[in-house]
Amino acid sequence: MAKKVAVIGAGVSGLISLKCCVDEGLEPTCFERTEDIGGLWRFKENVEDGRASIYQSVITNTSKEMSCFSDFPMPEDFPNFLHNSKLLEYFRIFAKKFDLLKYIQFQTTVLSVKRCPDFSSSGQWEVFTESKGKEQSAIFDAIMVCSGHHILPRIPLESFPGIERFKGQYFHSRQYKNPDGLEGKQVLVIGIGNSASDIAVELSKKASQVFISTRQGSWVLSRISDCGYPWDMVFHTRFRSMLRNVLPRAVQKWMLERQMNQWFHHENYGLEPQNKYLMKEPVLNDDLPSRILYGAIKVKSRVTELTETSAIFEDGTVEEDIDVIVFATGYTFSFPFLEDSLVKVEDNMVSLYKYMFPPHLEKATLACIGLIQPLGSIFPTVELQARWVTRVFKGLCTLPSERAMMEDIIKRNKNRIDLFGESPSQILQTNYIDYLDELAAEIGAKPDLLSLLFKDPKLAVKLYFGPCNSYQYRLVGPGRWEGAKSAILSQKQRMLTPLKTRTLEPASNFPVSLLLKILGLLAVALAFFF
């Protein structure tokens, strides 16, 4: 009999989990608290309790070719970075194509998930739900927790003495929808993540002045990289990832700093990160440096105190007449429906094996999907997580002993701190390609470049030097997809198509490179004969 799996949440993580369950012949039921799919990516004018909330202008920071699911490229005409409504459209076509909606029970909240009395032998769970005032429960063989981690705002008010005196308005970035009502105001944005920068830039076009306060600073990257390619298609290649892994730390540091300062000198703009050598998530923002250059945004250090109307900063400077403070200070997460001991954050560390499995359970029948912050797109990441988890549930893959899992968790956390630092905002941060490869290896879907080099050298070169996108994990192993190779070879075209909106006359100039080659050959011939 097919195993029954409860999927909690129908955001991106929930949708891909459903598909993987179906692919593996499991029998999923998805519980979604709201009336629709998409989770975070379904924009609403109002903020809802218990649900992620985004601003109207959110655009993806990872490109379409790097963000799509591995056997379902985005439509060719979709832009490379997508407005939230466009990304939601992709999830809708995806859900339709794989017929996923029929597994989802909407407007059904999971209240609690409890181990069955015979858990140590059956591994089963009882799931208690509530739908339109009616409570129910059902037994499942396994659980995929896909409830997201951008719901609970973190506002460290204790670090802002005087906030209770402040006469202006203040709110968390989660409350921010658009600049309406903030025209002509003096706004102070706290934090320098992606949201903080987006909000500061957007407000700076309407407000009288925007300040952005950061203790740590940050590298800021443009979405546009070498030759106009999306940043992640250039940054996330196997070749570059290998360099980042093997080069001595000193060379790496030098390269990182050089690369990051190519666009503008962060020091001159007051943005230079406190610890320059951490791979702490960069901010992706094409406008922030120009808004700073125009004086529309002023970068300030940490706030040490607030008064009724002003902010005092660490360097002793004071900004008067602040009307509004936006706390873009990130999120914390919790799983109110799980027993406390299952997913714990202790000593700044999440005690989950590979960010998914609680190591102390007798049976590996519960996993978190999407509780992670990779340096690249989360979509291919959650897909590989779900592919592995469903194979573990099915008994085709097994987990190591509890002790080995704990050792791995501790070691992984040490590496994480080395690379990304100790800030609580970095607790879920992981490397990109290394993590994907690790999961793919578990299910036997990691491409073997060496043997490919002999069989299909052109493809092997593309895999190594080209963007490491999700199609690479559909070339071999379970879940192999016939279209994977052609998707890899045609990605450049899909990247270029949406840009070709103006028909250009076919180039009529003489092929200079050919001319140079002929001249070169002539020169060699001449040198040879005379």
Ligand X SMILES: *[C@@H]1O[C@H](CO)[C@@H](O)[C@H](O)[C@H]1NC(C)=O
Ligand Y SMILES: Cc1cc2nc3c(=O)[nH]c(=O)nc-3n(C[C@H](O)[C@H](O)[C@H](O)COP(=O)(O)OP(=O)(O)OC[C@H]3O[C@@H](n4cnc5c(N)ncnc54)[C@H](O)[C@@H]3O)c2cc1C
Site for ligand X, residues 456 to 495, rule: CB under 6 A: none
Task: Report CA-CA distances (Å) from 363 to 27, 166, 322, 350.
Answer: 19, 52, 55, 19
Distance, in Å, from the CA atom of 276 to the CA atom of 62, rounded to the nearest integer, reads 23
> Pattern 351-390, binding to ligand Y, x per CB under 6 A?
-------------------x------xxx-----------
The residue from 6, 110, 364, 366 that contacts ligand Y (CB under 6 A) is: 110
Binding window for ligand X (CB under 6 A); candidates: 192-200, 290-298, 351-359, 478-486: 192-200
The residue from 53, 67, 195, 329 that contacts ligand X (CB under 6 A) is: 195
Total residues binding ligand X (CB under 6 A): 10
Shorter beta-carbon distance to ligand X: residue 31 or 231? 231
Closest CA to 297 of 197, 170, 176: 197
Q: The sheet that has 303-306: what strands, in order across it?
A: 303-306, 311-313, 318-319
The residue from 62, 124, 237, 365 that contacts ligand Y (CB under 6 A) is: 62
194 binds ligand X, rule: CB under 6 A: yes
80 contact choice in ligand Y, ligand X, none (CB below 5 to 8 Å, kind-dependent) = none
DSSP letters for 386-400:
HHHHHHHHHTSS---
Distance, in Å, from the CA atom of 379 to the CA atom of 358, rounded to the nearest integer, reads 22
153 binds ligand X, rule: CB under 6 A: no
Helices 12-23 and 378-394, packing angle to 10 deg: 40
Shorter beta-carbon distance to ligand X: residue 125 or 235? 235
Minimal distance, residue 128 CB to ligand Y, in Å: 10
3 binds ligand Y, rule: CB under 6 A: no
The 10 Å Cβ neighbour count of residue 282 is 17
> Pattern 7-36, binding to ligand Y, x per CB under 6 A?
-xxxxxxx----------------xxxx--
Minimal distance, residue 39 CB to ligand Y, in Å: 2
The residue from 13, 17, 62, 469 that contacts ligand X (CB under 6 A) is: 62
146 binds ligand Y, rule: CB under 6 A: yes
Distance, in Å, from the CA atom of 510 to the CA atom of 252, rounded to the nearest integer, reads 42
Shorter beta-carbon distance to ligand Y: residue 101 or 312? 101
Closest CA to 199 of 58, 375, 46, 48: 58
110 contact choice in ligand Y, ligand X, none (CB below 5 to 8 Å, kind-dependent) = ligand Y
DSSP letters for 292-323:
HHTTSEEEE--EEEE-SS-EEETTS-EE----
Shorter beta-carbon distance to ligand Y: residue 115 or 172? 172
51 binds ligand Y, rule: CB under 6 A: yes
Shorter beta-carbon distance to ligand Y: residue 116 or 378? 378
Residues 191 and 170 sit within 8 Å (Cβ to Cβ): no
> Pattern 405-424, binding to ligand Y, x per CB under 6 A?
--------------------
Binding window for ligand X (CB under 6 A); candidates: 119-127, 208-216, 372-380, 514-522: 372-380
329 binds ligand Y, rule: CB under 6 A: no
Distance, in Å, from the CA atom of 329 to the CA atom of 170, rounded to the nearest integer, reads 13
Distance, in Å, from the CA atom of 227 to the CA atom of 224, rounded to the nearest integer, reads 8
Residues in Cβ contact with 511 at an 8 Å cutoff, skipping those fewer than 6 apart: none
Distance, in Å, from the CA atom of 145 to the CA atom of 339, rounded to the nearest integer, reads 13
Minimal distance, residue 277 CB to ligand X, in Å: 18
The residue from 376, 447, 466, 467 that contacts ligand X (CB under 6 A) is: 376
Task: Report CA-CA distances (Å) from 456 to 61, 238, 239, 410.
Answer: 33, 17, 18, 40
Q: Give the dihedral sign, CA 333/410/381/424.
A: positive
Residues 76 and 493 sit within 8 Å (Cβ to Cβ): yes
Minimal distance, residue 154 CB to ligand X, in Å: 13
52 contact choice in ligand X, ligand Y, none (CB below 5 to 8 Å, kind-dependent) = ligand Y
Binding site for ligand X (CB under 6 A): 61-62, 193-195, 281, 284, 373, 375-376
